[in-house]
Amino acid sequence: MHSTPRLLLRQFADADGRLYYFDKRQPASGVGKRPPKYLFKKDHLYSTIERDGTRRDDLDRFYQKLEAWAAPIAKKMVTSARAKRFPQLSLVEKQTWDLFVYNQWRRVPDCYEKFAFDSVALQEMIDDFDRDVRPLTAAEREYWQRPDVLARFWQNVCVDGLKRQSTRALRILASRGLGVALITKANKSFVTGSHPVVKLANPETPHLSHPSTEMWLALAPDVAVTPAGERGEERIVTLHDDHHIRGMNEALFRQSTQIAGRSKELIISLAGSRRSAELRRLSATRGGTAEGRSVRRRELGSTAAA
């Protein structure tokens, strides 16, 4: 299944139906081009695995339904933005979109794989069971050392965690309105990636509940949306400053393993900025002076609120 849905990827494809992409894990391969069906995809990504090896795909089916519900809403927002009209989402549409954004934010491997498997914690759990419940046999202890068992255990932990929906986070999203950003310059565009929801927040107030916190999701090369304002409020802003667009693209690039888009030049530029950053860090470790980089993410937020 795709971690970044095809309903988004298709919007970034060019005339031949393919996207330019770059994978940080394979930098020597450079920028390639593929159809959406081959990008951001992994078999059984959201399946739990039983002890006999069978898989349960409850979460896959939920995401498929959620994507089907969200697709016409995304299309409505893109069409309205390009016409410079408010999308006027209904209450049900807004609730559905909140659920989609919340799950898209947390379902991608780039997000949940940051929490590495803690073998020490597992060993402590095994020791606690051995002490408080009953002694484990040598065979049982050997079982919990097997790589395939540990991989299955961690897969199930991740999937079970994704199944749990935070009612608090959804209430916060429901309390916010909708902000829409539109690019009108033909030579500028957004990119998408393996971690497509970009959270922009003041370091001192990073929580989603703070009014200044934004969660941008590019729906197309020229349209992005975020929770913004008060419940029921909709805002549209036209982005004229190239720095705002570049800032969002760079923020997405930093948090994603892979990026993709319609512009080959833009993907090359972002991949090149990563190489430049690596060279600056290398220079700093060798006694040089590294130049500070301006993230500019608050500029984007300030513009969207204007």
Q: How many structural domains is the chain composed of? A: 1
> What is the rounded distance in angstroms from the CA atom of residue 296 to the CA atom of residue 241?
11
User: Has residue 132 been placed in a domain?
Assistant: yes
For the purposes of burial, counting CB atoms within 10 Å of the CB of 56, is it exposed (0-12), middle (13-18) or buried (19 or more)?
middle
Higher pLDDT, 281 or 141: 141
pLDDT of the residue at 193:
95
Length of the chain: 306
Q: Is the pLDDT of residue 117 over 70?
A: no
Residue 39 DSSP symbol: S
User: Has residue 238 been placed in a domain?
Assistant: yes
pLDDT of the residue at 82:
96
User: Has residue 1 been placed in a domain?
Assistant: no
Q: Give per-residue pLDDT as tens, 173-186.
A: 999 999 999 999 99
Q: Give per-residue pLDDT as tens, 63-116.
A: 999 999 999 999 999 999 999 999 999 999 999 999 999 999 999 988 877 666
Q: Is the pLDDT of residue 284 over 60?
A: no
Write out the two tokens for 17.
């139906």
User: Has residue 55 been placed in a domain?
Assistant: no
pLDDT of the residue at 145:
82
CA-to-CA dists, residue 26 to 171, 196, 258, 259, 271, angstroms = 40, 19, 10, 12, 11
Q: Give per-residue pLDDT as tens, 218-274.
A: 999 999 999 999 999 999 999 988 999 999 999 999 999 999 999 999 999 999 875
pLDDT of the residue at 154:
85
> Which of the listed ranges 102-106, 145-149, 150-154 does the model predict with the highest average pLDDT?
102-106
Q: Give per-residue pLDDT as tens, 17-49.
A: 999 999 999 999 999 999 999 999 888 889 999
User: Has residue 233 been placed in a domain?
Assistant: yes
User: Has residue 63 been placed in a domain?
Assistant: no
Find how far residue 113's CA is from the centre of its chain: 12
pLDDT of the residue at 280:
46
Determine which of 37-41, 45-49, 166-170, 298-302 has the lowest per-residue pLDDT on average. Answer: 298-302
| Residue 288 pLDDT level (bands cut at 50, 70, 90) | very low
Is 192 within 8 Å of 260 (Cβ atoms)?
yes
pLDDT of the residue at 111:
83
Residue 266 dihedral angles phi and psi, to the nearest 5°: -70, -45
Q: Is the pLDDT of residue 157 over 70?
A: yes
> What is the rounded distance in angstroms from the CA atom of residue 244 to the CA atom of residue 232?
26
User: Has residue 212 been placed in a domain?
Assistant: yes
Q: Is the pLDDT of residue 290 over 70?
A: no
With CA atoms as reference, report the closest residue to 180 among 135, 137, 236: 236
Q: Give per-residue pLDDT as tens, 186-216.
A: 999 999 999 999 998 888 888 888 888 999 9
Q: Is the pLDDT of residue 306 over 60?
A: no
Could you tell me the residue range of the domain that residue 195 belongs to?
Answer: 6-49+70-305
